Amino acid sequence: MSVFMSVFADLVGNFADLLQPVFHHGAAAAAIILFTLLVRLAIHPLSRASARGQKARSRLAPQIAELRKKHAKDPERMKKALMELHTAEKVSPLSGCLPSLLQMPAFFLMYHLFSRSEIGGRANELLGHSLFAAPLHGRWADALAHGGLFGPAGAVYAVLFAIVAGVATFNYRRMKRQMAAAPAPATPAGPDGQQVAGLATMMKFMPLMSFATLFTVAVVPLAAALYVVTSTTWTAAERYFLYRDMPLAGALASPV
C-alpha cells in the first residue's frame, strides 16, 4: 500500500507542478480535478459498453420473462437458461457495475493520501496545499470551526455543496421523469431474472440517492471531496447522453 501511495503522491505532485504557473496556490486542487477527469476518461469506454449492455438486457426482457415463466419450478434450470441467453447475446449481467467499481481505488487513494502526515517515510508535502482558504486535508467540520459556515474556508464548501445539490437535483428530476415514462413492473427482477426482495421499495427512493453525495463531501478530506464532486458531475453528463434513449436503465444506474 505504501508503494502505491508514494507513486500516487508523486503523480499528484507532478500534476501540481505542471499546473502551478497557471493556478498558483490552487495547483494541487487543479491537479486533483485533472486526475479525476483522466480517470473518468480512461473508464469511459467501459461506461459506453455498460450502456450498450443495459440496452441489450432491456431488449432481452421479454425473453427473460418467458424463461422465468417456463422454469418457475426449477431455479437451477432457469439460471442455466439465463446464462446461455446472456452468452448467446454477448451480454454480461454485471457489466453495469464495472465503471463504479474501477473508480473506488482512485477515491480511496485520494482519501488516504490527504489523511496521512507521512508517505513512504517522508513528510507528506501535499498537506500544505489548499483551495483558496480551505486546506486540502481538512474537512467541513474544520472549516466550520475556523470561520463558520460562510467563513473563508466554509465558503469553499458552500460552493461544492451548491454544485452537488445542482447535479443531484438534475439527476432527481431526470430520474423521476424517466421512471414515470417507463414504470417498473409490479414485481421487478434482478439481472438473473429472479425477483429481488425489496427492489420495488428501493426503486421508490432511488431518485433521492444522488443527494447522499452531500454527506460524502461533508465528511471526507477536501481533496477527496473534489474527486467526488468532479466525478459526480461527469457521471450526470455522461449518463444523460448515454442513456437518453433508454429511460429506466439510465435511472437505475449508480449515481456516482
Express each pLDDT in 143-181 by its tens digit. Answer: 999 999 989 999 999 999 999 999 999 988 887 776 676
Nearest to 46 by CA among 233, 235, 245, 194: 235
The pTM of the full predicted model, rounded to 2 decimals, is 0.80
Q: Residue 189 and residue 253: Cα distance in Å, rounded?
A: 15
Q: Rounded to an integer, what distance in angstroms lies between the CA atom of residue 180 and that of residue 147?
A: 44
| Cα–Cα distance for residue pair 146/94, rounded to 1 Å | 45
Percent of the chain with pLDDT over 70: 79
Contact 191/94 with Cβ under 8 angstroms? yes
| Angle at the Cα of 105 from the Cα atoms of 19 and 234, rounded to 5 degrees | 60
CA atoms within 13 A on the CB side of 6: 8
* 231 has a pLDDT exceeding 70: yes
The domain limits of the chain are 2-252
Please state the three-class secondary structure of 20-77 as a single string: HHHHHHHHHHHHHHHHHHHHHHHHHHHHHHHHHHHHHHHHHHHHHHHHHHHCCCCHHH
How much is the average pLDDT of 111-130? Answer: 88
182, pLDDT greater than 60: no
Residue 186 has pLDDT above 50, yes or no: no
Which DSSP helix (H) or strand (E) runs through 153? helix 152-181
Question: pLDDT digit string (tens) for 31-54?
Answer: 999 999 999 999 998 888 888 777
Residue-averaged pLDDT of the chain? 81
CB 39 within 8 A of CB 103: yes
Cell of residue 138, nine digits: 481538512
Contact 51, 242 (CB under 8 A): yes
Span 214-228, mean pLDDT? 95
- Pick from 25-34, 98-107, 215-224: least confident: 98-107
Q: What is the DSSP letter of 195?
A: B
Q: Is the pLDDT of residue 76 over 70?
A: yes
Rounded to 5 degrees, φ, ψ at 124 are -80, 100
